[in-house]
C-alpha cells in the first residue's frame, strides 16, 4: 500500500532568554545558538555586553533532545536534514514573530543579528527569507549555507557583515576558513573577515569591538 506525506498547520510556542531591559533607544543584539545549546546557557557568553546600551535576546531552537541516552543534559537545535524545508519555514516564522513582538514594545537604535555555529545558517536564512533587515550581521564560527538561493543574496547588502573565526577552531582549518570567505566574495556578498586567537567559541573582546563600531 502506498503511503503519503501530509503537513498541517497549528499554533505552537517558542521561548527566548534576554539580558538587559527593553528600553527605547537601546541597541538590540539577537544571538542564535549553535547545535546542542540551550538559550539559557548560551546567553551567558554575552554577559560582557554593556546592558546600559544593549539588550541581548537569545531565541532557542525548537528541537530539544537528550544529549546522551534518554535522560540527563538537554540541548536544542534549529533543524535536521529530515523535512528540512518545513523546519526552515517554521523557524523563520518564529524569529519573524519574535522580532515583530520586540519592535512593538521598543524603538531600537540599531539591530545586530549574530549566528554562532549551526545558528549561523539559521541566521543567514532568516535574513534572506524573513521580513526584517538588520544593521549588522555576524557569521561566527560558521559558514554561509551552500544551498542559499542566490536571488536573496542582495538582502545582505543592507547590513554591515562580519565573518568571524578563531584561529584554533576545532571544526575549520584556516585554509577552509579562507576558502569559505573566498566563496562569499565570489557571490558578491560584502563581508569583513575577523580572526581571534581562540577556538570554536564566542570571543568577548572581538564581539565587543564589533558592537562598539
For residue 213, pLDDT beyond 90: no
Residue 137: phi and psi, rounded to 5, are -135, 125
pTM attached to this predicted model: 0.95
pLDDT, tens only, 181-210: 998 888 888 999 999 999 999 999 999 999
Between CA 52 and CA 23 the distance in angstroms is 10
- Residue spans of alpha helices (H) in 46-203: 84-105, 118-129, 174-186
Between CA 161 and CA 114 the distance in angstroms is 10
Helix (H) or strand (E) run with residue 205 in it: helix 204-211
DSSP state of 206: H
Between CA 32 and CA 158 the distance in angstroms is 20
Q: Can you give the pLDDT at residue 69?
A: 87
For 175, residues 6+ apart whose C-beta sits below 8 A from its C-beta are: none
Mean pLDDT of the chain: 94
Q: Can you give the pLDDT at residue 177?
A: 93
pLDDT category at 81 given cuts 50, 70, 90 is very high
- The domains located in the chain, with CATH, are 18-211 (3.40.50.1820)
Nearest residue to 59 (alpha-carbon basis) of 134, 133, 127, 123: 123
Q: Are 156 and 131 in contact (CB under 8 A)?
A: no
> Sign of the CA dihedral 96, 39, 123, 193?
positive
Nearest residue to 78 (alpha-carbon basis) of 29, 47, 115: 115
pLDDT, tens only, 96-123: 999 999 999 999 999 999 999 999 999 9
pLDDT, tens only, 56-76: 999 999 999 899 989 999 999
Q: Can you give the pLDDT at residue 36?
A: 96
Q: Can you give the pLDDT at residue 151?
A: 81
Between CA 115 and CA 32 the distance in angstroms is 5
For 59, residues 6+ apart whose C-beta sits below 8 A from its C-beta are: 14, 15, 16, 30, 32, 39, 94, 95, 98
CA dihedral 25, 26, 31, 37 (to 10 degrees): -130
C-alpha cell at 29: 543584539
Between CA 86 and CA 78 the distance in angstroms is 11
Q: Are 102 and 30 in contact (CB under 8 A)?
A: no
Amino acid at each position: 500500500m502506498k503511503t503519503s506525506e501530509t503537513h498541517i498547520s497549528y499554533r505552537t510556542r517558542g521561548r527566548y532568554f534576554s539580558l538587559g531591559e527593553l528600553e527605547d533607544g537601546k541597541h538590540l543584539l539577537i544571538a542564535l545558538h549553535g547545535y546542542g545549546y540551550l538559550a539559557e546557557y548560551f546567553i551567558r557568553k554575552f554577559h560582557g555586553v554593556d546592558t546600559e546600551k544593549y539588550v541581548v535576546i537569545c531565541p532557542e531552537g525548537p528541537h530539544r533532545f537528550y544529549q546522551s541516552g534518554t535522560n540527563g543534559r538537554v540541548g536544542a537545535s534549529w533543524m535536521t536534514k529530515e523535512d528540512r524545508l518545513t523546519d526552515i519555514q517554521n523557524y523563520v516564522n518564529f524569529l519573524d514573530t519574535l522580532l515583530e513582538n520586540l519592535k512593538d514594545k521598543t524603538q531600537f537604535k540599531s539591530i545586530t543579528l549574530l549566528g554562532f555555529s549551526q545558528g549561523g545558517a539559521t541566521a543567514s536564512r532568516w535574513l534572506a527569507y524573513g521580513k526584517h533587515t538588520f544593521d549588522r550581521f555576524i557569521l561566527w564560527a560558521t559558514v554561509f549555507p551552500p544551498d542559499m538561493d542566490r536571488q536573496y543574496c542582495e538582502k545582505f547588502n543592507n547590513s554591515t557583515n562580519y565573518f568571524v573565526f578563531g584561529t584554533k577552531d576545532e571544526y575549520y582549518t584556516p585554509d577552509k576558513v579562507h576558502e569559505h570567505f573566498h566563496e562569499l566574495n565570489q557571490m558578491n556578498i560584502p563581508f569583513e573577515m575577523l580572526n581571534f586567537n581562540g577556538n570554536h567559541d564566542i570571543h568577548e573582546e572581538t564581539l565587543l569591538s564589533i558592537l562598539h563600531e
